[in-house]
Structure 1
């Protein structure tokens, strides 16, 4: 089958995260029709997670192409560019306070970013409650999307923006994510200024990070007076069950953590003990390095589906950069195949290089901070 022109192609994006929505927005700005399928029942069915810092050279660049940069700036928290690096006693080893007008990497809640992108799309672009089961069809297309409800859709181009455990990835690569040996336990804090004033002072307006070589804490301010703390440990994947605990056993997990962090100062331990509600287990996975695939007509990947890496501040930014470059390749190419070839020719080596740099980066989240080696603008982002 001859590869269709992008303007006449049936383009399906799987996943309504920042990457998929950014790609859809830029395509629509240039008059190219697209449909996004997402497994969530609706846009408000679940919490979208913590805060993101969008960088000038990738995330913000994609928003500029999407025509949304000024709206992003109106929502962004520039004060949240503050960063503190501390030891296990709570002593500040390095401190970055953003200068007035600094726009290097302002923060925005994931949910706010998603809502911004959703509002920018034509009505009906996203079809909710569509969980992809498989991608099939001949190599020269069209591809068939089969959903878990038994329905099918034909597409000339399938864009996998469906995250770490992508179903689209199976159409181009046998690779599966592997556990990297480090796990996060997420703790939520509400009404920081009134309910947790001492922790508010300890963390500041942005984020604070401490490690002792085997374990660490990463505190991250969110909008609306909220904060998330990521309790980071080098543990087996099944560490909760292996210690005779259950995910919903908040008090039991808390007692176990206090034993693991016994050498940390009492005020740092409050980042573990004073949370509002249950903990959320978030083990870290990554794709093999490098992760590449042979060109497959009618299917490509972006973001974590293409290059899942440890959470060191690049994930969403790279996904949005991928999205922008793929969308513009489709805008500027005469056929779908030409566009995918152009996009992957740039994206695959770039992501491989970044993944190699970050391959063991999860360990750095646990390391004892060295003030002489801290980049004040470097920021880990769970």
Structure 2
């Protein structure tokens, strides 16, 4: 896919802040995840006649949509997720944003939306973080606070009819974030659904769009009803191969030093964290592999002690160990049910790079302010 030409600069915000210093400090003391939003957001608009333009940084607030706005009827929308990290010297960085830009472009093509150039994507991140810099948390000992960034675009033309919209709006909003799971980094109990599938071949599974997450919700309720933290989906064709969790990729580590993640088949989101782990694992002497993971075979290898650790990963949760699988008619502990040594070492290394505590030997960090 050819890189489109950049056109946007996102001039600095000129409006007053929505929150006082005291109000912001109260939020940052206990931000949760996805519960609070900052003072500003970036916006741009694409039209079929004029391309991308109208870039601005404006106060965060409600959007006024016509009842016939296309996204409300035909779900033509995509999004991304990444984080801004405060380093010890006060500077603010993000992790591999070019990969998010590339993935958003691929998602746009799949959903018949206009790809946003990488430089424009980066400019929008810099503009929001510059405007909302006081919202980037200073991480304390044992915490992993960050500013979560949510770029998204949607079909904003008002019309009824099954075609690609001629007007599209793009925004970046930001939310101070703590741990994704309220109880922190603990081994997950994962329910394996044989009722629902997240996505199918030829569908939108490799795109980051809301429909994929909507289709996971009943599976998450099914998991909760079985005392599990998360749901894992199998492939929609045979219901035998592991695809991913509701919002995270899956890895298995074997007793002979292999680290395996399911092959990207088109129904699995190509995670930025997933790709980074494959690189870091190889650096640590593990043998990375992308191949089909048949769930019945995984259970057999767990029982025999050949698979010794499993974990889930994504931008929001980073890396979280899997301690137990539950499924219709049974359950299987992963290893000793705890947090595996390789899993936690990879997690520590990845977060240390992100927060500037370890060498960025792969050149993954981009300074925002």
Alignment TM class, shorter chain as reference: under 0.3
Taking structure 2 as the reference length, the TM-score comes to 0.25
Instruction: Give the structure with the higher percent strand.
Output: 2
The two structures have a TM-score, normalised by structure 1, of 0.24
Q: Which has the higher helix share?
A: 1
